[in-house]
Amino acid sequence: MRKIGVLGGMGPEATIYFMQQVVDAIDARDDSDHIPLLVDNNTQVPSRIKAILEGGGKDPGPVLAQMAEGLVAAGAEALVMPCNTAHYYADQVATATDAPFLNMVEMSCAEAGKIAPGGKVGLLGSPALQQVGVFEAALADQGLSSVYAAEQGRALATIRSIKAQGPSEFAAHTLSDICAQMVDDGADVICICCTEFSLLASAINARVPMFDALQVLVSASVEYSRLGASSPSVNEGGDAQRSAVAP
């Protein structure tokens, strides 16, 4: 099995949740059946939200590229980054090493395209996703369009509360409210695309199909580790172009 390098710590709860999902995805008889992971649970990556929304602050890009290099130098054979917002820096991560980068955003857009071909995808994530259009190009590649939370402040406050206090019932209610509004605004499918919200996935209600970008990444990680197969949404390192995502 190939060792998967994890650019983690954004936040640490989400990284742990990703690791747990990878464990749960395996029908194991012993430790050795599980996927080997090398995890840089780097809690000191400069705030992505701050850098994108408020400008200034330290640039997370070079830190993420350095983490990618370190993981590959230490034996990682492919890279993943269980943080949607951080995918704003996906090209810097993908080009930092020769190892494939399993791009959660592109794979999630491909998944949305399967569920609602040509439809509108409600992106349940941080306001930073909309601000800089993290999903827009990958959605367009799939012939999809986006719907966002009307009250981005509520989404941001919810992320901050989960980072500080962990998941709560109140947070789940707020997120269900946001889903209802996005469906009213035309969303055909909801993509949970903030790993903080993934912690609450089972408690969020929506009237349309909903899936979690993190679970898409979990499946891809397990598949890559076991088969080494290059999935259509793997960014090959060294290639500055975003890879095409097969429909």
Query: Which parts of this chain interact with a copy of itself (CB under 8 A)?
Result: 1, 3, 9-13, 15-16, 19-20, 23, 28-45, 47, 70-71, 73-75, 160, 163-164
> Which residue, 165 or 205, is less far from a copy of itself as judged by CB?
165
What is the rounded CA–CA span in Å between residue 204 and residue 107? 22
- Report the distance separating Cα 234 and Cα 221, nearest Å: 10
8 A C-beta contact, residue 224 and residue 78? yes
* Min separation Cβ 52 and a copy of itself, Å: 15
Q: Which is nearer to a copy of itself, 35 or 200 (CB)?
A: 35
Rounded to the nearest whole angstrom, what is the least distance from the CB of residue 26 to a copy of itself in the complex? 9
For a copy of itself, give the closer residue by CB, 47 or 152. 47
Give yes or no for a contact between 36 and 225, defined as CB atoms under 8 angstroms apart: yes
Nearer to a copy of itself, 4 or 206 (CB): 4
**Which CB atom, from 77 or from 106, has the smaller least distance to a copy of itself?**
77
**For residues 210 and 78, is the Cβ–Cβ distance under 8 A?**
no
- The bridge status of strand 234-235 relative to strand 101-102 is antiparallel
Which has the closest alpha carbon to 238: 105, 91, 134, 107?
91
CB of 228 to a copy of itself, least distance (A): 15
Find out whether 227 and 221 touch, Cβ atoms under 8 Å.
no
Distance CA 197, CA 204 (A): 9
Nearer to a copy of itself, 2 or 173 (CB): 2
Min separation Cβ 19 and a copy of itself, Å: 5
Residue 21 beta carbon to a copy of itself: minimum distance, rounded to whole angstroms = 10
Instruction: In angstroms, give the least distance from the CB of 133 to a copy of itself.
Output: 23
User: Angle at Cα 168 formed by Cα 162 and Cα 169, nearest 5°?
Assistant: 145
